[in-house]
């Protein structure tokens, strides 16, 4: 039986769907009507079901463009109304998907193109690249560090898209957000194929029962091999114990950079709509029910200077409403009650304030006093918690301590141990892969993380916030298993030109690496190794130097294995400052044959600071502040100009990997300095000689 609903309002809002009760007790209501934010009066809009052609022709606007007559029939519900010259969009369905891939395989670029082609972005933003990588470090490093939520409206279906990090060190972010998705887009490079992080995140998704859609990206590259990569992905899923349903995955081929996706790699398309059609067809709708008490698990925490902490998660059961009193079930089982102040859903790149959110949708809420990632927001009278989010353990730690160098407090605003500790504790609230451990000294904290990249992002963030601190060298976590010493192992992949492969094998073997696979791929040689995590520290710089920057290196944690023995650390000694002062070109010129310097003329240094790398294995104390003596005597050739090689400048990660056991890295908002833990030469000599350690000097 047909029902008619007249909507003669400028902003019609009709809640509910056919056959579902509304809050006022009506038998049924029409699907939600929404005024689209973007789009032009002319031409079809892929987000608008009324412009698709299958649901009815789009009405032509009147000349004055003030009122447009709209009449359309969907199912047995008929709409009739006059809207202010704008199209209406029927939000009939919902899909939640996460995009997972190895770093730099094109996840964020693909999301950019989807947002642009579905007209979710403002026209002025259409030319930007990597719109979702809004963090400064993400843009500088060219990688995704923090997961992002956006939504689009395509053919009447709201699609929530979760962009995830691709680097193995940020796997904790991926593990959390997969709980919010019903399906995943697995993005794979058409040349490189499945990489270490691909295996890691895919294993997590398959174990959670997610249905994958495989997207083979960059098919326009030279030497690409899409069909071989497709077979490799199938073999990988089979090895990861995927179900028959998961193995029967659809595949899209295309180029995210050029903005097209197709079912055939040899037939380029005009847009990415083929992929979106696959999402609607193959990703299941949320199975949650609005019946029963509320359940929402917090998977992400955001922060606003105006409203404070913001909880983000998926409504797994029931309905959450603005002003509703809820209970927060903590990890330890304790319950705290609090009201919901404001409620938001994701719309485009932003958030839209709403009064209620039903099961299956993603939302953000404020007003909850105390909560952590993994807590459950549930009914206040009948609290029922969900299983906590399991996060893999960290594999590496670093010592964080206050800055006690002679330059203490000159460049930073936050310098005390209390300020550093509070900042680190705040970080653990949203970074589940990070852990803290107290030491015997109140000024020192052991910080555990997933790897050098994971910890370096934290250090760089603190540095930009105005913190001064010092960190020790990264150390892997060693476990006792069955009475034997075990250490973390990594799966290492190196793609390098064939003529450089011998050097790669040699340097990895020196670090206790064991080669598993060696095969040619085009003009590159593909090498796979099993190597201790200790051997990874400092390896990237060495690999890039030996390959003249042509090597591609990736790694991920695999398992704990028996201790592999000692690995040679830094092979060269350090050039250490003898006395504080200003670096002079005259002194550097005379010392150039002693090694490579990290500082240039006119820089301030202090006693005990490491200013260069010695050409030999031992440390050498040098006086870089020595000036030329002024006399009345002159001779031919005595006043030649100093010709200095440019100093070697290292990034934060390179500094961290360069550190030795007896050194600190001093981190300030303006500088990175290497220094010895014991600044004076006499103390270092005393500490190196066991017979003199207890002698007062």
Q: Read off the pLDDT band of 105 (50, 70, 90).
A: low
pLDDT digits (tens, 9 = 90+) for 133-157: 456 665 666 566 666 788 888 888 8
Instruction: Flag whether pLDDT at 7 surpasses 50.
Output: no
pLDDT digits (tens, 9 = 90+) for 270-310: 889 999 999 999 988 887 676 778 889 888 888 777 888 88
Query: What pLDDT does 56 receive?
Result: 37
Instruction: Give me the mean pLDDT over the 488-507 stretch.
Output: 89
Identify the pLDDT of residue 436: 92
How many residues in total does the chain contain? 697
Phi-psi region of 167 (alpha: psi -120 to 50; beta: other; left: phi over 0): beta
Query: What digits encode the pLDDT tens for the residues 378-390?
Result: 988 888 888 877 6
What the chain holds in terms of domains, given with CATH numbers, is 1-91 (no CATH), 98-104+133-282 (3.40.50.300), 295-379 (2.40.30.10), 479-562 (3.30.70.240), 574-631+641-663+673-691 (2.40.50.250)
**Predicted confidence (pLDDT) per residue in 389-400, tens digit:** 766 678 889 999
544-562 confidence digits (pLDDT tens): 888 888 888 878 788 889 9
pLDDT at 636: 54
pLDDT exceeds cutoff 70 at 358:
yes
- Residue 368 pLDDT grade (very low, low, confident, very high; cuts 50, 70, 90): confident
3-state secondary structure 606-642: CCCEEEEEECCCCCEEECCCCCCCCCCCCCCCCCCCC
In whole angstroms, what is the distance from residue 38 CA to residue 86 CA? 10
Which of 58-62, 290-294, 366-370, 553-557 shows the highest mean pLDDT? 366-370
Sorted by sequence, the CB contacts under 8 Å of residue 20 that are 6+ apart come out as: 28, 29
Most confident of 25-39, 68-82, 310-324: 310-324
Predicted local confidence at residue 632, as pLDDT: 66
581 φ, ψ (degrees, to nearest 5): 155, -160
| pLDDT attached to residue 391 | 67
At residue 166, the pLDDT reads: 61
CA distances from 231 to 129, 247, 300 (A): 31, 11, 35
pLDDT tens-place string over residues 615-662: 998 999 999 998 887 766 665 555 567 788 899 999 888 899 888 889
Contacts of residues 580-585 at CB distance under 8 Å and 24 or more positions apart, as own/partner, are 580/406, 580/605, 580/606, 580/607, 580/625, 581/605, 581/625, 582/625, 583/611, 583/624, 583/625, 584/624, 584/625, 584/626, 584/627, 585/642, 585/644
Percentage of the chain modeled with pLDDT above 70: 77
Minimal CA–CA distance to 455: which of 386, 497, 370, 398?
Answer: 398
Both tokens of residue 302? 């955001």
Cβ neighbours of 643 (radius 10 Å): 8
Which residues contact residue 641 at a Cβ distance below 8 angstroms, ignoring those fewer than 6 apart? none
Helix (H) or strand (E) holding 244: helix 244-247
Please give the residue that has the higher pLDDT: either 159 or 692: 159
Residue-wise pLDDT tens digits, 419-444? 999 999 988 877 777 889 999 988 99
Q: Does 515 have pLDDT greater than 60?
A: yes
Distance CA 173, CA 171 (A): 5
Question: With bands split at pLDDT 50, 70 and 90, how would you rate the model's confidence at 93?
Answer: confident
What would the two tokens of residue 562 be? 């028996």
Q: What is the pTM of this model?
A: 0.71
């Amino acid at each position: 039986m047909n029902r008619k609903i007249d909507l003669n309002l400028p902003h019609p809002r009709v809640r509910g769907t056919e056959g579902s009760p509304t809050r006022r007790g009506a038998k049924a209501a029409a699907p939600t009507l929404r005024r689209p934010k973007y789009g032009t009066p002319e031409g079809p809009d892929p987000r608008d079901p009324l412009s698709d052609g299958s649901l009815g022709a789009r009405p032509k606007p009147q000349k004055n463009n003030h009122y447009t007559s709209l009449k359309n029939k969907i199912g047995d519900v008929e709409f009739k109304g006059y809207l202010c010259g704008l199209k209406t969009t029927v939000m009939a369905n919902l899909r939640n998907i996460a995009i997972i891939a190895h770093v730099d395989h094109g996840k964020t670029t693909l999301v950019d193109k989807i947002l642009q082609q579905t007209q979710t972005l403002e026209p002025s933003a259409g030319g930007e690249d990597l719109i979702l990588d809004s963090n400064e470090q993400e843009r500088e490093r060219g990688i995704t560090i923090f997961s992002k939520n956006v939504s689009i409206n395509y053919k009447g279906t709201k699609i929530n898209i979760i962009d995830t990090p691709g680097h193995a060190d940020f796997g904790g972010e991926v593990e959390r957000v997969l709980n919010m998705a019903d399906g995943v887009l697995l993005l794979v490079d058409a040349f490189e194929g499945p990489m270490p992080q691909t295996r890691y995140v895919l294993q997590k998704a398959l174990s959670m029962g997610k249905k994958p859609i495989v997207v083979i990206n960059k098919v326009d590259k030279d030497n690409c091999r899409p069909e071989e990569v497709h077979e490799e992905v199938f073999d990988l899923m089979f090895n990861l114990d995927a179900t028959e349903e998961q193995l029967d995955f659809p595949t899209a081929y295309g180029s995210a950079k050029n903005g097209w996706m197709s079912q055939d790699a040899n037939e380029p398309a005009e847009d990415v709509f083929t992929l979106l059609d696959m999402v609607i067809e193959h990703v299941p709708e949320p199975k949650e029910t609005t019946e029963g008490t509320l359940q929402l698990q917090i998977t992400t925490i955001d922060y606003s200077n105006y409203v404070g902490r913001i909880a983000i998660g998926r409504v797994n059961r029931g309905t959450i409403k603005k002003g509703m009193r809820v209970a927060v079930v903590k990890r330890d089982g304790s319950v705290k009650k609090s009201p919901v102040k404001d409620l938001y859903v994701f719309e485009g790149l932003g958030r839209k304030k709403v009064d209620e959110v039903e099961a299956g949708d993603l939302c953000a809420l404020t007003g909850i006093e105390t909560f952590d990632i993994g807590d459950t927001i549930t009914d206040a009278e009948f609290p029922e918690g969900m299983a906590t989010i399991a996060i893999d353990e960290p594999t590496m730690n670093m010592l964080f301590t206050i800055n006690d160098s002679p330059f203490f407090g000159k460049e930073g605003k936050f310098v005390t141990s209390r300020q550093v500790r509070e900042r680190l504790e705040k970080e653990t609230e949203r970074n589940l892969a990070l852990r803290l451990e107290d030491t015997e000294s109140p000024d020192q904290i052991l910080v555990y993380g997933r790897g050098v990249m994971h910890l370096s992002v934290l250090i760089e963030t603190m540095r930009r916030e105005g913190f001064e601190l010092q960190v020790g060298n990264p150390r892997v976590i060693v476990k006792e298993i069955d009475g034997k010493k075990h250490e973390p192992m990594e799966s290492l992949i190196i793609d390098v030109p064939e003529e450089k492969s011998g050097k790669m094998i040699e340097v990895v073997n020196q670090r206790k690496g064991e080669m598993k696979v060696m095969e040619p791929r085009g003009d590159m040689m593909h090498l796979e190794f099993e190597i201790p995590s200790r051997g990874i520290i400092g390896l990237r710089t060495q690999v890039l130097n030996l390959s003249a920057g042509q090597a591609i290196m990736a790694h991920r944690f695999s398992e704990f294995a028996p201790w592999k023995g000692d690995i040679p650390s830094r092979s060269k000694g350090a050039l250490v400052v003898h006395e504080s002062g200003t670096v002079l070109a005259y002194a550097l010129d005379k010392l150039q044959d002693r090694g490579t310097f990290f500082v240039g003329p006119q820089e301030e240094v202090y006693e005990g600071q490491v200013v260069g790398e010695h050409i030999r294995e031992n440390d050498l104390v040098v006086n870089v502040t020595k000036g030329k003596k002024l006399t009345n005597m002159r001779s031919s050739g005595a006043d030649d100009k100093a010709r200095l090689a440019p100093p070697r400048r290292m990034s934060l990660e390179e500094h961290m990997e360069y550190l030795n056991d007896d050194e600190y890295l001093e981190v300030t908002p303006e500088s990175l300095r290497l220094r010895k833990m014991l600044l004076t030469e006499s103390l270092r000599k005393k500490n190196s000689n066991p017979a003199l350690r207890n002698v007062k000097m």
